[in-house]
Amino acid sequence: MARKERIDAVGGAFLVGFSALLGLNQVLVKLVNAGFAPAFQAGLRSALAFLPVLIFALLMRKRLSLRDGSFRPGVICGLLFSVEFVLLFMALDFTTVSRASIFFYTMPVWVTLGAHFLIPGEGMTKAKALGLVLAVSGVALALSGNAAPATEWALVGDLMCLLAALCWAAIALMARTTAFSKAIPEMQLLYQLAVSAPAMIAFAVLTGDTVREPTEAHLAILLFQSFVVVGMGFLTWFWVLSVYPASDMASFGFLAPVFGVFFGWLVFDDALTPQLVAALALVGLGIVLVNRKPKRGLTRS
């Protein structure tokens, strides 16, 4: 399909659907945690998702190479991916889906902050600075109080989600600033899946926390995560990225935490306190602003 200059109805529908999948994913993880331990679940998900992503890349004749200089940063990104999802999946044992979604999907904010220092030409604008302040204010507001903590370790879970977001941001920055950028998006995902699957499963085995009380429903949800969320979801994202402007796609980033909070309320009856809603609004507005394209001729401040 030919490149398009703006997001049309088809692209918008795919992006909204992908954001909904990301928001739903936290609910699915929390459900499966009852059957499979967090790290073990995350490792199985990576292992199961690897093959369909590889098959897609081969069928589409994508250039998959280990000799383009991306191998070492690819392995590092795979390890960061492992830490990211061990933290996130474990956090959902401690905190609610709604809170996890707010903290985890702050990733674009930390990428913007890192890009200011690491990527030439992507310095802070007034809009980005305001977005950063709003998002950090939202995080601080959410951390300052929890009217309905899921467990006594809820604050630890919240902080683990923030650390997971920082790992995700580090991967995104490495994809812009290192030889990892030489790998096509499908290869970047394959690196992360190939490294994280054995790493997370080994971690689960070494810590003695693998299987809890699995049922057929838990296995079915795990398969859905692997093939639909990670496989089809991210492959659809790559397709959209190849057709539509990336800068316009970024504006849909605020939808993921909104969907996460919605599904957390819908499935687990997570409390929607005024403080949580205000924190979500601040973070969402911050994400929109940090992704906002500067007007031509606008000087950076």
Q: Which of 97, 32, 86 is nearest to 258 (CA)?
A: 97
- pLDDT per residue as tens digits for the range 106-135: 999 999 999 999 988 888 899 999 999 999
This model's pTM is above 0.85: yes
* Mean pLDDT, the chain, integer: 91
Per-residue pLDDT, 246: 64
pLDDT at 299 > cutoff 50: no
Per-residue pLDDT, 294: 61
267 pLDDT tier (thresholds 50, 70, 90): very high
Per-residue pLDDT, 90: 97
| Over residues 2-28, mean pLDDT | 88
85 pLDDT tier (thresholds 50, 70, 90): very high
Per-residue pLDDT, 4: 79
Burial 85-124 (b: 16+ CB within 10 A, else e): bbbbbbbbbbbbbbbbbbbbbbbbbbbbbbbbeeeeebeb
Per-residue pLDDT, 1: 60
Domain boundaries along the sequence of the chain: 9-290
- pLDDT per residue as tens digits for the range 165-222: 999 999 999 998 999 999 998 999 999 999 999 999 999 999 999 999 999 999 999 9
**Mapping DSSP to helix (H, G, I), strand (E, B) and coil, where does residue 246 land?**
helix
Per-residue pLDDT, 239: 77
| Over residues 70-87, mean pLDDT | 97
Per-residue pLDDT, 26: 94
Measured distance CA(191)–CA(74) in Å, rounded: 6
Q: Is the dihedral of CA 207, 191, 287, 137 positive or negative?
A: positive
The DSSP call for residue 67 is S
3-state secondary structure 171-226: HHHHHHHCHHHHCCHHHHHHHHHHHHHHHHHHHHHHHCCCECCCCHHHHHHHHHHH
Measured distance CA(177)–CA(114) in Å, rounded: 11
Per-residue pLDDT, 100: 97
